Amino acid sequence: MLSLRLNAFGLIALMLMAPLAGCFGEDGGEKVRASSLTVVQADSLEGGMWQTIELKASQDLAVFLPYFVQDPGSLRAQNGTVLDLTEGSSVEISILLPPRNPDIVFLVGEYSRTNWPIRAADESWMDWIEDGSEGSSVQVTDNEDEGGLWPWVVPGNSTGGEVAHLHLTTERPQRSDLTEENGVGASEGWVNGRDVYEWVDFITDETADPLDPADGAVGFLDRWIGNGNPGYEDAITYFEGVMVGYGLDVQVHRFQSGTLWAVNICAYKTGTVYPDEWLVFGAHFDIAPYATPPTAVIPGTEQQGYGTRTGAYDNAAGSSMVLSTAKVLADFDARRTMVFCLWSSEEEGLRGSSAFAGDLPAGVTVSNYLNLDMAGINYPGDFALSVYLGPDGTGDVIDQKGMYHLAEWIGADAFNLADQIENGREEWAAGGESPLWENNYKDTVAIYESPTARSDHDSFQQLGVATLGWNGVVDGYPCYHKTCDKLATMEEYMTTDNATGEANLVHSWDIVTWWAVYAFLHMDQSPVPNEL
């Protein structure tokens, strides 16, 4: 599947629907047994990987597949489809099953069925089936892609009656050279947290390299914005080369206004349907410059002075996730132009992203922006994972309902985080954003509309663009903008009673990277509007 070139990602906004009937809806239509549908590869289903499976029917039926599938006509991916199968017939499907939830569900109903119930946004498919809670509904509609054969599903007004549920389980592939201590459970997949970990390890490697005149190290250190800074320019050249190697159109944008200047590294893949609508995914690659000698200790503390050579958490982590995502999407043609940016000058006041947002080509708009800054020291460690959206309006209610429901819909099932999301909802209601950035929490993933904009997403919110981002603890991290912001320190803070810091970091980055990819692909077909 990874070698197959898709023309676009068609993802339907299932989670934006108002609650309707419960799991079974109204009675009606011929009852169909789940056992009438057979998945030939049921014992070898993989999570987090595109794979081809075969479905067989022993009676006339319809099956709703609520996962990413590839249409065999358009070769584009879409978020779910409904297929009619006659008795004795079969069909092959290229499908992407969830990376972090082994339980999958196919819904089975009467042949030619057009209306289906679905789960609520904040619960998994299994929870929805087991607790009988109310959800929403979808209906079958024509495929809108040129050459598309399989129908799409869109918000509906009726559940269409009872459905049967075929429950199956998956296993996610794992690398053979790793153990649980290394986060082996998140070491393979279309994207994975282990790749991100290894990027961070490489970028921040302080091993001496006397042949490197830029920073004297194996990694790419000293990424401080500054005219003529050799470490900074060395990083720019390297990251540019990496994304050129992915086959993307890479441009190094240099901006200058008076004495202020910025350099952004942006990789482009032109959209095939809406090339002038840009879907931007970004993280800043600059790090906090020294303001005190690097060996200084702040009086009364054990913390080292301001500034860092490595910037592992802030923000080699986010930069590594952008690189990992750009790699897997580089071979895919999306409807909207994909833009993967590494921003400069975030630490000096968002100069890089602000310059980019203020210098868009004539006729170009940004449909959505996704931000990665300081992700890693969060769930599944003893800290909260913040999934923040905006722009914020009133402060006391969620104004960006579409973005909020999208984030919930993805997290609750694909990553099996419904309970953690509920914990985060309670913590947000009790104290807002500040405690989430400062205190320790267990099993907490908070999705909320952020009242602050301390990172590059603010540059796009100023354009009226709805944004989504991820981060962990911020002000509560003692190495925030300090010389101790290193991978080893992150591992220390992510160590828990049941896992090593390395394993927790790998799983943390796995969750965030997958979440961003799911949202990114969804927004390619269905941009999320700013609702203010």
| Confidence tier at 146 by pLDDT (50, 70, 90) | confident
Asked whether residue 315 is assigned to any structural domain, the reply reads yes
Structural domain span for residue 148 = 9-169
The mean pLDDT value of the chain amounts to 90
| Confidence tier at 293 by pLDDT (50, 70, 90) | low
- Which tokens hold the place of 213? 């005149």
Q: Do 126 and 225 belong to one domain?
A: no
pLDDT at residue 432 tops 70? yes
- Which tokens hold the place of 204? 């921040």
Q: Is 208 exposed, middle or buried (0-12, 13-18, 19+ CB in 10 A)?
A: exposed
pLDDT at residue 435 tops 50? yes
Q: Do 71 and 116 belong to one domain?
A: yes
Per-residue model confidence (pLDDT) at position 259: 67
- Which tokens hold the place of 234? 């060395």
**Lowest-confidence pick of 146-150, 157-161, 385-389:** 146-150
Q: Which residues contact 336 (CB under 8 A, 6 or more apart)?
A: 271, 273, 274, 275, 277, 278, 279, 367, 523, 524, 527
Residue ending a domain, among 139, 169, 199, is: 169
pLDDT at residue 305 tops 90? no
Q: Do 142 and 13 belong to one domain?
A: yes
Task: Say whether the peptide bond before residue 315 is cis (omega within 30 degrees of 0).
Answer: yes
Q: Do 24 and 120 belong to one domain?
A: yes
Asked whether residue 531 is assigned to any structural domain, the reply reads no
Per-residue model confidence (pLDDT) at position 88: 97
What average pLDDT does this structure show over 393-415? 93
Per-residue model confidence (pLDDT) at position 144: 86
Per-residue model confidence (pLDDT) at position 27: 42
Q: What is the pLDDT of residues 77-100, one digit of tens each?
A: 888 999 999 999 999 999 999 999
Q: What is the pLDDT of residues 468-506, one digit of tens each?
A: 999 999 999 999 999 999 999 999 999 999 999 999 999
**Lowest-confidence pick of 42-56, 245-259, 473-487, 503-517:** 245-259
Q: Do 278 and 374 belong to one domain?
A: yes
| Confidence tier at 448 by pLDDT (50, 70, 90) | very high
Q: Do 236 and 366 belong to one domain?
A: yes
Q: Do 361 and 460 belong to one domain?
A: yes
Percent share of the chain, pLDDT over 90: 79
Q: Do 235 and 345 belong to one domain?
A: yes
Per-residue model confidence (pLDDT) at position 492: 97
pLDDT at residue 1 tops 60? no
Q: What is the DSSP secondary structure assignment for residue 479, as one 8-state letter?
A: T
Q: Do 216 and 163 belong to one domain?
A: no
Q: Do 249 and 107 belong to one domain?
A: no
Per-residue model confidence (pLDDT) at position 134: 84
What average pLDDT does this structure show over 199-213? 97
Count of domains for the chain: 2
The secondary structure of 352-371 as a DSSP string is: HHHHHHTTPPTT-EEEEEEE
Q: Do 155 and 75 belong to one domain?
A: yes
Number of other CB atoms surrounding residue 327 within 10 Å: 18
Task: Say whether the peptide bond before residue 102 is cis (omega within 30 degrees of 0).
Answer: no
| Confidence tier at 133 by pLDDT (50, 70, 90) | confident
Q: Which residues contact 431 (CB under 8 A, 6 or more apart)?
A: none
Q: pTM higher than 0.75, yes or no?
A: yes
Asked whether residue 530 is assigned to any structural domain, the reply reads no
pLDDT at residue 19 tops 80? no
Per-residue model confidence (pLDDT) at position 301: 44
3-state secondary structure of 321: helix
What average pLDDT does this structure show over 442-464? 96
Per-residue model confidence (pLDDT) at position 23: 38
pLDDT at residue 29 tops 80? no
